[in-house]
């Protein structure tokens, strides 16, 4: 049995949820009166501009609606309502790749967001409901753009800056975006890199909906300029008024889209709504990170992922805290960068991915000891399971055995944390997400809703709707239903299935065991195997491919591709791999590159032609094959592939 780490008593004394009794009190209140529970928090946390009618409308399930007909504005939640008390407090502390630092107060944030909102509204006629794509580096203007969109009711869709022109174009076209906001580029590891050229390429074919590309200057490198569509943010922003009245938004108005991978080829535009999302962003921010006055919170994610949305921008700012935004990478100029930033900015909560923890551990075991990290109170992890050695190092060396580690389990679709320790309350088992947060009904069940026995793997489901849940897949309600509400039922009613497996132990602790679908988690980023295979298909020499995940020391999972060539023996694996990766880089981006390939004569298929990926996963991992191979069209292929992989 793993050791249990109890919360630090000194810390718990002042924590917002100070004990498991307090946790159960909240959770039981939710279970006894679900709507009353959510109503009390919605009334406390949201500045309603008009009251809502109903807390939860289930009439069109699974298209749940929360706080029906209520009116609010997210930029008011994140900025205006703080101005009376926090105008001179830092809203954002920005640190550039090369060490340049900028402090942006709530008053300054207000001015800049208002100006940007006016720019979008007045110069490009962006109106409520229009889609704006952001293809931005990690600079404060990205945050201004997000908040400017919410101010005028435009729906933002951020595309991670590592995605290629083709991937960007697909997302622009799917959302029919009116405006794209980008930057010339930014800095990484001391050198400039470019973004605007990717937007140019994306718009060469397709992108017909785009009327303007707004370009922010960051690295001042030369860029191509197309007078008919490109506009300079820096030349236009000063002329804008710093007062832009916010749009009155409905609780259920879509707030943003964020594309994520599923088990079929095309990425899904996850659609979030306004009131429910911002409510849970603020509540989880306050509870899971145990926010207090004068905290300085640093989440290392990129704003192109949901973690960046909720815990760099919307959670911290709606809660009125100071959020740190970092342009660079934590290993430049050396493996002490992150620890130096914690010392310099007196950071109180540090939130990162296990992949970064493993890398920093490997690159500088004792590095944290060189810096003053005593301001830290809470450490967080997100995106993938954390392995016990990385957890132990994070706890003992980074946190000096004093900080709670919150292993937060959630997804793009859930909007905010679902399962996580509470730092002042939960006795922690390392590498375990522990319990559902108060108000969240998370259950490990079988397809028919019966609880999975203790110690066995079941489906990780959230069996009651919650405010910040995905509302739809943009333009594809049918896919929304089949993706999330078709696998599991409880009491005969479809319930939300996360796509993850999980296990519950004898104390009720939940451990996430990983995806049950064909989605790989590379460095905490989701990539569908079908999405990769759809690209590989276009390599002329390849007949069939089957992609699986394989454990990777730093990335968590790496991408392993089994390749069947049209003509055997004509190309070397290295040639094929470089061909595949060239195309993957072009079509998706560098995050989708294959780590390993194996050229095989065929892949294991059932008689009906279905590829048996489980067998391929086991072979890639070097595991013994325990699956029944008798149903295969050609059972001998398994040994042949095993031999090829072993000898590679």
Interface residue list for ligand PRX (CB under 6 A):
260, 306-307, 382-385, 407-412, 433, 498-500, 512, 515, 521, 525-526
Task: Decide: 620 and 587 in contact? Cβ < 8 Å.
Answer: no
Whole-number minimum distance, CB 278 to ligand PRX, in Å? Answer: 17
For the chain, the distance separating the N- and C-terminal CA atoms, rounded to the nearest angstrom, is 38
Furthest-apart CA pair in the chain: how many Å? 73
Q: How far is the CB of 460 from ligand PRX (least distance, A)?
A: 8
**CB of 301: closest distance to ligand PRX in angstroms?**
8
CB of 509 to ligand PRX, least distance (A): 13
CA distance 469 to 472: 9
Per 3-state DSSP, the chain is made up of helix, strand and coil in percentages (nearest 5) of 35, 25, 40
CB of 476 to ligand PRX, least distance (A): 17
| Residue with smaller CB distance to ligand PRX, 464 or 526 | 526
The count of C-alpha atoms lying within 13 angstroms of the C-alpha of 63, restricted to the half-sphere facing its C-beta, is 13
User: Which runs of consecutive H residues, i.e. helices, occur in 409-554?
Assistant: 477-484, 529-536
Take residue 221 and report the two structure tokens written for it: 């490198």
CB of 549 to ligand PRX, least distance (A): 11
What single DSSP character describes residue 7?
A: P
Instruction: Supply the minimum distance, in Å, between the C-beta of residue 287 and ligand PRX.
Output: 16
CA distances from 447 to 461, 463, 489, 490, 494 (A): 10, 12, 6, 8, 10
Q: By C-beta, is 590 or 648 nearer to ligand PRX?
A: 590
Distance of CA 574 to the CA centre of its chain: 33
Q: Residue 134 or residue 418: which is nearer to ligand PRX going by CB?
A: 418
- Give the residue with the Cβ less far from ligand PRX, 337 or 417: 417
Taking the least distance from each CB to ligand PRX, the nearer of 97 and 557 is 557
Report the nearest approach of ligand PRX to the CB of residue 431 (Å): 8
Measured from the CB atom, the residue of 66 and 311 that comes closer to ligand PRX is: 311
Tokens 């696998």, residue located: 487
Of 106 and 484, the one with the shorter C-beta distance to ligand PRX is 484
Nearer to ligand PRX, 364 or 385 (CB): 385
Question: At closest approach, how far in Å is the CB of 412 from ligand PRX?
Answer: 3
Residue with tokens 């909906």: 209
Strands ordered across the beta sheet of 131-135: 230-232, 212-216, 179-183, 131-135, 155-158, 254-260, 268-273, 472-473
Residue among 42, 39, 240 nearest 152 (CA): 240
CB of 261 to ligand PRX, least distance (A): 8
Taking CB atoms, the residue at the shortest distance from ligand PRX is 412
Alpha helices by DSSP H, listed for 524-636, are 529-536, 573-587, 613-621
d(CA 412, CA 517): 16
Angle at 133 between CA 50 and CA 533, to 5 degrees: 125
- The alpha carbon of residue 265 and the mean position of all alpha carbons in its chain are separated, in whole angstroms, by 19
Of 52 and 496, CB closest to ligand PRX: 496
| Contact between residue 327 and residue 300 where contact means Cβ atoms under 8 Å apart | no
Shorter beta-carbon distance to ligand PRX: residue 368 or 421: 421
């Amino acid at each position: 049995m793993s050791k249990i780490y109890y919360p630090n008593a000194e810390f718990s004394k002042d924590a917002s949820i100070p004990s498991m009794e307090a946790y159960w009190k909240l959770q039981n209140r939710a279970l006894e009166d679900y709507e009353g529970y959510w109503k009390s928090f919605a009334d406390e946390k949201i500045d309603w501009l008009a009251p809502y009618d109903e807390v939860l409308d289930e009439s069109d399930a699974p298209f749940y609606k929360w706080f029906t007909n209520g009116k609010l504005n997210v930029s008011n939640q994140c900025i205006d309502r703080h101005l009376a008390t926090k105008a001179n407090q830092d809203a954002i502390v920005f640190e550039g790749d090369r060490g340049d630092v900028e402090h942006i107060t709530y008053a300054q944030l207000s001015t800049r967001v208002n100006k940007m909102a006016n720019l979008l509204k007045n110069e490009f006629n962006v109106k409520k409901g229009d889609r704006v794509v952001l293809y931005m580096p990690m600079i404060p203007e990205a945050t201004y753009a997000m908040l400017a969109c919410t101010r005028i009711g435009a729906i933002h869709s951020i595309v991670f800056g590592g995605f290629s022109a083709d991937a960007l174009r697909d997302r622009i076209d799917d959302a029919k975006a009116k405006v794209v906001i980008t930057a010339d580029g930014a800095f990484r590891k001391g050198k400039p890199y470019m973004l605007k050229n990717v937007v140019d390429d994306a718009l060469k074919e397709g992108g017909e909906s785009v009327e303007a590309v707004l370009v922010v200057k960051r690295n001042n490198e030369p860029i191509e300029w197309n007078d008919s569509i490109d506009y300079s943010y820096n030349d236009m922003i000063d002329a804008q008024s710093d007062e832009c009245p916010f749009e009155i938004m409905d609780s259920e108005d879509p707030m943003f889209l964020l594309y994520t991978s599923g088990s079929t080829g095309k990425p899904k535009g996850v659609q979030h709504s306004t009131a429910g999302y911002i409510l849970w962003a603020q509540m989880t921010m306050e509870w899971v990170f145990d926010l207090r006055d004068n905290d300085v919170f640093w989440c290392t994610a990129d704003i192109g992922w949901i973690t960046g949305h909720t815990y760099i921008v919307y959670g911290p700012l709606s809660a009125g805290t100071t959020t740190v935004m970092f342009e660079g990478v934590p290993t430049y100029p050396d493996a002490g960068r992150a620890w130096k930033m914690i010392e310099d900015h007196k950071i109180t909560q540090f939130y990162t991915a296990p992949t970064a923890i493993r890398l920093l551990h490997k690159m500088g075991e004792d590095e944290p000891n060189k810096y003053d990290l005593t301001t830290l109170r809470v450490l967080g992890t997100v995106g993938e399971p954390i392995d016990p050695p990385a957890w132990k190092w994070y706890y003992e060396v980074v946190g000096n055995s004093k900080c709670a580690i919150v292993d937060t389990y959630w997804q793009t679709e859930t909007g905010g944390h679902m399962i996580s320790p509470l730092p002042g309350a939960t006795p922690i088992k390392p590498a375990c997400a522990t319990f559902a947060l108060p108000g969240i009904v998370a259950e490990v069940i079988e397809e028919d809703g019966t609880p999975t026995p203790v110690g066995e793997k079941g489906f990780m489901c959230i069996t009651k709707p919650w405010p910040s849940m995905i509302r739809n897949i943009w333009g594809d309600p049918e896919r929304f239903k089949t993706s999330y509400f078709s696998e599991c039922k409880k009491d005969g009613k479809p319930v939300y299935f996360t796509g993850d497996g999980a296990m519950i132990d004898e104390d009720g602790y939940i451990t996430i065991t990983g995806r049950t679908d064909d989605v790989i988690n590379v460095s905490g980023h989701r990539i569908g195997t079908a999405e990769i295979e759809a690209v590989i298909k276009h390599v002329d020499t390849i007949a069939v491919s089957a992609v699986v995940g394989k454990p990777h020391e730093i990335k968590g999972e790496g991408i392993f591709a089994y390749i069947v060539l049209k003509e055997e023996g004509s190309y070397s694996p290295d040639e094929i791999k470089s061909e595949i990766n060239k195309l993957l880089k072009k079509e998706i981006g560098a995050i989708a590159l294959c780590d390993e390939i194996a050229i095989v004569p065929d892949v294991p298929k059932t008689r009906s032609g279905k590829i048996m990926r489980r067998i391929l996963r086991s072979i890639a991992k070097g595991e013994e094959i325990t699956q029944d191979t008798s149903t295969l069209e050609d059972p001998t292929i398994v040994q042949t592939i095993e031999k090829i992989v072993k000898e590679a």
